[in-house]
Every structure is written in C-alpha cells, then in structure tokens.
Amino acid sequence: MLLTTDTPIAHTRPRFDDIFMELAVNLAKRSHCIKAQVGAVLTRDTRIISIGYNGPPAGTHNCDEEYPGVGCPRDSKGSCSLALHAEENAILYAAKNGSEVEGATIYVTLSPCIACARIIYSMKIARVIYLHSYAEYKGIASDEGVDFLRRFGVTVERYHPGKGVTLVAEPPLATKRL
C-alpha cells in the first residue's frame, strides 16, 4: 500500500513509478513459491501491457502445495528448477497476446537475474526499475543482470519512492536458502 505523508489540502499525486511498483509488490503476493515472491509489471508510457509473478507454468502445480515446507527441487545453482521468473511471465504473456514490448518499462520487485536480463534485452525493453537487489538476495558479488543490461544500453534504476510517498508493503524474501 502507498501512503502519502502530505495533508489532504497539499495532496501529492503518486508518480506512475510508485503506482506500478506498488502493483508489482502486490502481484508478488500471488506467488506460490515458498522461497521468494517476486512481481513484475510491464508498461508502456502510463499504460500496463502485462503483469507477472514467479511460479511454475500455468497448469502444472503449485510449489507450496506439492512441496509444502521445502519448496520445489533446486537446480545446480540453488534456484527453483520448475518456475518461471516474474519478468518471464510478464513478457511471455505480453508476447502471447500480441502486445508490443519494444521500448517498454518493466517494474520488478527483485532485480533481474542474468537469464532474465538477456530476455529483457532481446525483447528491446528500454527501462528496468527494481525494488530489491538480486545480488544481495543471493549473496553474490554483483547484480549480473543489471550489469549486463547497463552494458548494452538498457536504463536500469533502483526504485526510490517519490516525494511524499512511502511503499509500506513489501514482498517477503526468505532470509535462509532452502
């Protein structure tokens, strides 16, 4: 939820960055992943093109139901071997429905991993706004996805609430790895 600190008389309208990040945070809560919940909103100008959150492909299973308490099997890097990332889900849904994503902005609650960064770049998404650092979450030296995107000209920014706005609901990120 976004809270404004201004009085009703001096009402401050939230920026679209604030609105779209709040939506990404709320979408993250839809995830069935027990390790981390990530949400994404794909936009063009001030319009939403697509949304997504992390989880297995539709129609397969729900991690928290099929693997309660432990989560999905992990790949060699410790990541879920069955799930799509929030960015992938948002981009795939847009593509499936014929939406033009070139030049779009994606808001995501966790900065893109290197695999998602390659997809973002390949789809010609122009701007990435993220809330939390993937490197900090994974305990690695750098945000490889962010570095990759910046190297090839994609604008990447860490989200900071606008003046008079506080993002008070954030998605849970597990502190211990499964």
Q: What is the pLDDT of residues 53-104, one digit of tens each?
A: 998 887 887 877 877 877 777 777 677 777 899 999 999 999 999 999 999 9
User: Which three-class secondary structure state does DSSP give residue 89?
Assistant: helix
C-alpha atoms less than 13 angstroms from C-alpha of 12 in its C-beta half-sphere? 17
The secondary structure of 25-55 as a DSSP string is HHHHTT---SSB--EEEEEETTEEEEEEE-B
Expressed as residue numbers, the domain containing 99 is 16-158
User: Which three-class secondary structure state does DSSP give residue 130?
Assistant: strand
Task: Name which residue leads in pLDDT, 7 or 38.
Answer: 38
- pLDDT at residue 12 in the model: 74
Q: Is residue 57 part of a domain?
A: yes
Q: Is residue 175 part of a domain?
A: no
- Work out the widest C-alpha separation in the chain, in whole angstroms: 55
Question: What CATH number does the domain containing 126 carry?
Answer: 3.40.140.10
Please give the tally of structural domains in the chain. 1
Q: Is residue 146 part of a domain?
A: yes
* Radius of gyration of the CA atoms of the chain, in A: 16
- The mean predicted confidence, pLDDT, of the chain is 86
Q: Which residues are catalytic?
A: 87
pLDDT, average across residues 146-174: 84
Q: Is residue 113 part of a domain?
A: yes
Sign of the CA dihedral running 67, 73, 78, 82: negative
Q: Is residue 61 part of a domain?
A: yes
